[in-house]
A and B are shown apart, each in its own frame.
Chain A
Amino acid sequence: MTHAGTGSEPETREAPGAGKRERRPLSWGRVLAWAAMAVITLITLFPFYWMLRTALSTNTALAQAPASALPVDFSFGGFLRVFGLQSTKEALAEGGSGGSLEFWRYLANSVLVATIVTFCQVFFAAMAAYAFARLRWRGRDAVFGFVLGGLMIPAVFTLLPNFVLIKEAGLVDSLFGIATPMVFMTMPFAVFFLRQFFLGISREVEEAALIDGAGRIRVFFRLILPMSTAPIATLSILTYITAWNEYFWPLMVSYSGSSRVLTVALSIFRAQTPQTGTDWAGLMAATFVAALPMVLLFALLAKRIVNSIGFSGIK
């Protein structure tokens, strides 16, 4: 694998202020730095390409050219198996296991869980953050400190007791049972994150509205929320990605297809394929379609997501 052309990149993309020390176009340090960056980029992106390359191969042909850069014996068979569009006979002929993935159902479950979790968490956190940032009431700072204490509880510690709770509530194996605790597991961070932003909103606008006779609730919905679309969008995206990728908790609660989300379905699909003669084409097609929604979301919102990471990290 070569990284041709990396040395020429500094000329096209020069960060302001960087590289003032050496004006020579071919400084060895910079060439080396760009080469390192190229290697990192390659390792980062290679698995995505390999997923697609394998998914578009025929399973039985894969063994003959394991290192071929292009799909071997090009076929959509892997994807057809994932979507349940291939008969068991055809699947077995192409080296599939005959196991299937009710993809659309699990996709719908994942979308539903991630959407409920994101909407409720962000909305409830925004309400609480407003009360902590702008309303005056006795005990406010103490209660806020109590909520911040939640940041110290490792998520994984609450999983077992939460499972017991969900079981007692009769919500095991339901999407509601999966989603409800997830709304609150990272709530302290969400409240803290939004409160920081609300504190910075100008007081004058709010007070003007209050003098005009608007109530606090009206101010919150008509003024604060519309003024905070940027941090709310940021928090929503981060929450959505986290909820979408969650595996441990849904694995505990879900027993049947009715509440199975994509991450869990994928691991079951993987376990179904026999150790000898794994259906790699089908499995890679499945991982690819499972990863696709977040990759598409990312393609749409890349800039906002990338810029939000620094913002969310500086707590």
Chain B
Amino acid sequence: MIKPTTASPAPGRAPGEARTALLFIAPAMIGYLAFLVWPTLRGVYLSFTSFDLLSAEKWVGLDNYRRLVNDPVFWDSLGVTLHYVVVNIGVQTVVALLIAVLMHRLTSSTVLRGVVLAPYLVSNVVAGIVWLWILDTQLGVGNEIIEWLGFERIAFFGDASWAIPTIALVNVWRHVGYTALLIFAGLQSIPPTVYEAGRVDGASEWRMFRSITIPLLRPILSLVLIITIIGSFQVFDTVSVTTDGKPANATNVLQLYVYDLAFDRLQFGYASAISVALMLVLTAITVFQYRLMRAGRSDLG
């Protein structure tokens, strides 16, 4: 994902600078080791124990993982999370691409870009509560409009089949502007001459979108996809303040299950095992996407 630019030549010549360098990297490195590297290793270790936060941890080998494989709640919540990710990413990518292309072809107004970014500034908690109100079954203006249009009111957060798509759309509302601006930045790096050439050849807007925009955008699209997929697998805030797993576990996403196991039932060991499983899934996705992205690059030549 990252291509570091090559730094200054031949490190290791001036010994006097090593001490200064140590001084400069020390605060960041100590914190990095203490709050990122060590917790990662420890999380893996805890997943092999029966740690309950109150007494010392006991090594239990693969017990937690065996339990995980046979735990229907885990598989359910993995399914719920996947459902969420698919709806969220699908809608978000399409809408973000639409917004980015519209902005690119219509205007470069900073005001408009500011407007689409506005929801990104509020927390997931605020976004969740506001939409909970707008989509309220009895008093929500969303349902008033639905009824006015001649449809039945929908219990967006209370109905098992609606809850996950609704939460996914709330998060699309909050994040789509950010994603759109990332794609927009990618669009601006496409030289306008390509489009002019297309126009001379009499290509339609749709044709240019398919044959110029999409292929040239593929690297940045894959990058955006990796970032958003990894982010959306970790969904927690919005679910926690709106449905909190209800109705009947229909919105029990993985993070909610982990939180419940750790803080309500004090099963830190088992909760850690689920976190490890989630990390493996995310790593697999990243590696897979990275491969795809590379393929996309070489395609273009």
Contacts and interface: CB of A to CB of B under 8 A. Distances in A.
Contact of B12 (A128, A136, A151): A136
A36 to B, nearest CB: 6
Contact of B199 (A21, A36, A44): A21
B159 interface: no
A267 to B, nearest CB: 5
Interface string B11-42: 11110011011111101110110111111101
Contacts of B53: 164, 167
B216 to A, nearest CB: 14
A215 B32 CA distance: 27
Contact of B241 (A184, A267, A307): A267
Contacts of B177: 44
B94 interface: no
B181 A136 contact: no
Contacts of B163: none
Given A47-B131, A141-B11, A310-B188, A13 B123 contact: no
B291 to A, nearest CB: 15
A233 B181 CA distance: 19
B300 interface: no
Main secondary structure of the interface of A (DSSP, over half): helix
B108 A15 contact: yes
A67 B141 contact: yes
B117 A160 contact: no
Contacts of B268: 160, 164
Interface string A180-222: 1101110110011001100100000000000000011100100
B5 A34 contact: no
Contacts of A152: 283, 286
A133 B21 CA distance: 10
Given A140-B11, A309-B117, A154 B230 contact: yes
Contact of A37 (B27, B102, B144): B102
B255 A156 contact: yes
B116 interface: yes
Most buried by B among A150, A160, A307: A160
Contact size range, B:
35 or more
A280 interface: yes
A44 B117 CA distance: 9
Contacts of A63: 138-139
Contact of A160 (B17, B28, B173, B272): B272
A127 B23 CA distance: 9
Contacts of B236: 156, 247-248
B277 to A, nearest CB: 10
Given A41-B112, A290-B123, 4 more contacts: A128-B29, A156-B234, A247-B125, A302-B114
5 closest A-B pairs (Cβ-Cβ)? A310-B185, A161-B39, A184-B31, A245-B123, A128-B28
23 contacts: A10-B106, A41-B112, A67-B141, A125-B28, A134-B8, A137-B21, A144-B4, A145-B4, A154-B234, A154-B282, A157-B275, A161-B39, A161-B42, A164-B51, A180-B35, A185-B36, A187-B31, A247-B237, A248-B255, A287-B129, A295-B118, A310-B188, A313-B224
